[in-house]
Structure 1
Amino acid sequence: MRAKDIMSSPVYTAGQSASVESAAELMTAMGVTALPVVDTNGTLVGMVSESDLLWHRVPSDPTTQVRRHPDTEADSRPGTVVEVMSRYPLVTRPGADVAEIADQMLQNDVRSMPVVDDDQRLVGIISRRDILRAMVRGDDVLAAEVQHRLDEYSDGQSRWTATVEGGVATVAGEFDDETERTVVTVLARTVPGVAAARIGEVTSS
């Protein structure tokens, strides 16, 4: 399973000149914990999270000593996201393996990762919730989705029968040639939650 199979797209983003207040409002309204920050060309330049906003915007108690952010003056309160965002965020590619993404998230203690193309343009985002959702889908649900994709490919004709056991899809039926066999294999494997696909030998129909 690849990043492109489970990523959310389009992505809620903040521009470099967006205010801290508007970013906080968007996070609250959309129920997200972080926003990619992009320039006018859609290129990723940073990430702003709830913790970034809280660190800079919640006033400290003047009667207590609180450690302040090292990049922020004690009495300054930044107004734009570019002033509080984390630069050079951890990113991934559309073709990256989801298991590797999950490992990177855990090792780096991040809750979401932007997905970028070769030009660093934002194409999606993956959260821990997206990964968990894909992992907990039952075999029956996966089989139904694989079957639906195969039926669509064959213009509504039930040429193949899909079953899933332990996340592994098995497709039974006949194939016109090796190309069709490859296409069916790819269709089965791209269903989020399917770990592998098993296809029968090529047979003339």
Structure 2
Amino acid sequence: MRVKDIMSSPVHTVRQTASVESAAELMGARSVTALPVVDDAGGLVGMVSESDLLWHRVPQDPTAHLRPLPDMDPENRPGMVLEVMSPYPLTARPDTDVADVAEAMLENDVRSLPVLEDGTLVGIVSRRDILRAMVRSDEVLAREVQHRLDEYADGGVRWTATVQGGVAHVRGRFGDETERAVVTVLARTVPGVAGVEVEVLDR
């Protein structure tokens, strides 16, 4: 499964010169936890998250309300996204394997990655997107695998698909090894399928 199969597009972005308040408002309106930050030409220059926006707005010391803190001074706290964003963000390509993206997210403790194609921002992929695609019931996976196989067979039922523990089991007759390979690939490309086992019936 590739990033292009699960990414969100078009992407909601925020200008680097936008105010922190407007970025927070956009996040709330779009129900997202992070936004790609772009320059005036639309080029990606960073990522800003809810925690970035809150960093200088919420006291780090639970007793801060008892005394003034320099970082809570309204005159010193950042006002623009540029001042709180994370520059040089990790990115993904549309054809990147989702497993590689998930590993990068965990290793770098990020929740979403902008997706670039030839330097252009084309989407964004989040941990939630990956979970939604990967955590699906065996029944749902079996129906989707069967549907893809039936479409390949021009609407007929040449193979039977079941799924157990995320592994697709395809049973039927095959014209040759090429056809068997195509069926295996079709089953494996269903989001959430962890593996494919093929049982070839005698003619």
Same fold (TM over 0.5): yes
**Residue 143 of structure 1, CA deviation:** 0.8
Please give the residue correspondences for 1:141-160 in structure 2 after superposition, counting only pairs within 5 Å: 141-160=140-159
Q: Secondary structure at the match of 2:10?
A: coil
Correspondent of 1:64 among 44, 63, 67 = 67
**Structure 2 contact 170–198 (Cα < 8 Å) conserved:** yes
In 2, distance between residues paired with 1:122 and 1:202?
Answer: 47
Specify the alignment match of 2:186 in structure 1. Answer: 187
Change (3 A) 1:173 1:42: farther
In 1, distance between residues paired with 2:188 and 2:116?
Answer: 22
Report the residue type matching 1:125 in the other structure: I
**Residue 29 of structure 1, CA deviation:** 1.7
**Residue 142 of structure 1, CA deviation:** 0.7
Specify the alignment match of 1:3 in structure 2. Answer: 3
In 1, distance between residues paired with 2:70 and 2:198?
Answer: 59
Q: Secondary structure at the match of 1:37?
A: strand
**Residue 39 of structure 1, CA deviation:** 4.1
Report the residue type matching 1:173 in the other structure: G
In 2, distance between residues paired with 1:17 and 1:96?
Answer: 31
Residues 141-165 of structure 1 deviation map (CA, whole Å, 9 limit, x = unaligned): 1111111222334443323222112
Change (3 A) 1:41 1:63: same
Specify the alignment match of 2:108 in structure 1. Answer: 108
**Structure 1 contact 5–190 (Cα < 8 Å) conserved:** no
**Residue 134 of structure 1, CA deviation:** 3.0
> TM-score, normalised to structure 1's length?
0.77
Specify the alignment match of 2:53 in structure 1. Answer: 53
**Residue 90 of structure 1, CA deviation:** 1.8
**Structure 2 contact 71–77 (Cα < 8 Å) conserved:** no
In 2, distance between residues paired with 1:202 and 1:112?
Answer: 45
**Structure 1 contact 43–122 (Cα < 8 Å) conserved:** yes
**Structure 2 contact 171–201 (Cα < 8 Å) conserved:** no
**Residue 127 of structure 1, CA deviation:** 1.8
Count of aligned pairs between the two proteins: 200
**Residue 77 of structure 1, CA deviation:** 4.8
> TM-score, normalised to structure 2's length?
0.77
Specify the alignment match of 2:125 in structure 1. Answer: 126
Residues 102-153 of structure 1 deviation map (CA, whole Å, 9 limit, x = unaligned): 3322222211122223x23223222222222233212111111111222334
Please give the residue correspondences for 1:24-35 in structure 2 after superposition, counting only pairs within 5 Å: 24-35=24-35
In 1, distance between residues paired with 2:40 and 2:178?
Answer: 42
Q: Which has the higher contact order (CA 8 A, sep 6+)?
A: 1
Provide the identity percentage: 68
**Residue 78 of structure 1, CA deviation:** 4.3
Specify the alignment match of 1:85 in structure 2. Answer: 85
